[in-house]
Amino acid sequence: MTDHLDDSLLHAYLDGALAPDERVGLEEHLNSCPACTEDLARARRLFLAIGGMSEESLGRDLTPAVLQALSRLPRWVPSLAIGELLGALGIGAALILGLGTSEIVDGLSASSERIATQLEVASRQLTSGWAEALERSRSFWSLSEIRLPDLGSAGIWATIAIAALILWFVGNGLVLGQVRRKVWR
Amino acid sequence: MREPADRDLVLRTRRGEVQAFGELVRRYQSAVFNVCYRMLGERMEAEDLAQETFIRAYRRLATYDADRPFGPWVRRVATRVCLNHLDRRTPPSQELDEDRDRPLVAAGNDPENVLAGAQASAGLRRAITQLPPRYRAVIELRHYQEMSYAEIAELLEIPLSDVKSHLYRARKILARSLMESD
């Protein structure tokens, strides 16, 4: 037999990295080729030698030095705790702003209808407020004449706060998901 | 009393209990040190890098999946830390020195036979430290951490074909170095 197997193929075989059909073809060749069988045995000895290198003992305990270094770092704060904290703050803010417990338990349909109405009102008010501001800018006399547009009831602000929280949770989840997929291997 | 599982220690660390991380350091410091020692070949440097590995691991604990074993993860972190260290230290010319990869001479002696005996580990360790950094990394990840070609490619962010060629060349260099030192 004149065509012998390449060493890289033998290495891939020992690494278990060949496709099943490649492996079968290689083994058939090995059965009829003493030279390649000897090459494989030599490669196997090299693999065993590399893998068999003895482990060295560590001369000292690294724990105190690591803990000391860690004490100079900011404490590890889990993202869930931040989420819980912000969630609690959001709920608290909603209650303070007058959303009211009874309104929370009214049901999703009622809430969504109210939110839609409030958003529409807010939109109108923002538009009219902006137009008013533009009008005032044309005849600008003094700062005391500027009045912030009335954005309506506290419910609008609560709605905006809840929407922001939802965006925060979804966005944070997506970002963390990406990071985990990339870094953990 | 039963020792706490790695997963529990990770979760406690995430809750801010730094001492729990200290227990993880105690458990895995030897394994991490050996990764660094194989990659660097110098004890003091290996100890420093092992320490840095744990600090890096602590800071990146958010990216660790606590349902998977901690040991392999922290050893991979160690490999990356050492590789980054070597990349900063090694002149680019060494990485590209393909002349080191000339074919093995046809030898009457079996080059692997020199590995037998008490000095085999020391000789092999010396030979590994003569390899370019990425060759060291693939040898470490394949032979000592038993990662697949695909996993190595993903970790080192190199093509699969590079993993195969790096491994093949690294092994050839190791075999030749060992034969020459006989």
Q: Where are the domains of chain A?
A: 7-51, 78-183
* Comparison of pLDDT for B95 and B138, the residue scoring more: B138
Using a CB-CB cut-off of 8 Å, the residues of chain B touching A50 are 124, 139, 143, 171, 174
Residue with tokens 């995430």: B14
Of A165, A161, A154, which Cα lies nearest the Cα of A87? A165
* Mean pLDDT of all residues belonging to chain A: 77
Using a CB-CB cut-off of 8 Å, the residues of chain A touching B51 are 62, 65-66, 69
Closest chain B C-alpha to A136 CA, distance in angstroms: 52
Query: For chain B, what is the largest distance between any 2 Cα atoms, rounded to a whole number of angstroms?
Result: 62
0.95 exceeded by the pTM? no
SS3 content of chain A, % helix, strand, coil (to 5): 70, 0, 30
Nearest to A63 among B22, B58, B148 (CB): B22
**Average pLDDT for B42-50:** 95
**Average pLDDT for B42-66:** 94
* Comparison of pLDDT for A151 and A175, the residue scoring more: A175
Best-predicted range by mean pLDDT among A24-33, A68-77, A107-116?
A24-33
Rounded to 5°, angle at Cα A180 from A175 and A182: 95
Closest chain B C-alpha to A37 CA, distance in angstroms: 14
pLDDT of amino acid A75: 61
Mutate to test the interface with A, among B17, B52, B121 (most CBs of A within 10 A): B121
Using a CB-CB cut-off of 8 Å, the residues of chain B touching A63 are 22, 25-26, 29
pLDDT of amino acid A183: 45
Task: Show me where the domains of chain B are located.
Answer: 1-89, 92-182
Mutate to test the interface with B, among A46, A85, A180 (most CBs of B within 10 A): A46
**Average pLDDT for B89-113:** 47
Nearest to B63 among A51, A75, A179 (CB): A179
Q: Closest-CA residue in chain B for A58?
A: B30
User: In whole angstroms, how far apart are CA B2 and each of B5, B17, B57, B83, B114?
Assistant: 9, 19, 25, 37, 45
Q: Residue B16: which region, alpha, beta or left (left: phi > 0; alpha: psi -120 to 50)?
A: left
Nearest to B55 among A15, A69, A78 (CB): A69
Q: Closest-CA residue in chain A for B178?
A: A46
Mutate to test the interface with A, among B58, B70, B119 (most CBs of A within 10 A): B58
User: Is the Cβ pair B22, A67 closer than 8 Å?
Assistant: yes
User: Is the Cβ pair A73, B59 closer than 8 Å?
Assistant: yes
ipTM of the complex: 0.80
- CATH of segment(s) B92-182: 1.10.10.10
| Range scoring the smallest mean pLDDT among A149-163, B21-35, B84-98, B103-117 | B103-117
Rounded to an integer, what distance in angstroms lies between the CA atom of residue B145 and that of residue B142? 6
User: Is the Cβ pair B154, A76 closer than 8 Å?
Assistant: no
Topology of domain B1-89 in CATH is Rna Polymerase Sigma Factor; Chain: A (1.10.1740)
Examine the pLDDT at B55 and tell me if it is beyond 80.
yes
Interface residues of chain A, partner chain B, Cβ below 8 Å: 7-8, 11-12, 15, 17, 42-43, 45-47, 49-63, 65-67, 69-71, 73, 75-79, 176, 179-180, 183-185
Mutate to test the interface with A, among B55, B74, B119, B181 (most CBs of A within 10 A): B55
Alpha carbon A141 to chain centroid, angstroms: 51
Alpha carbon B178 to chain centroid, angstroms: 20
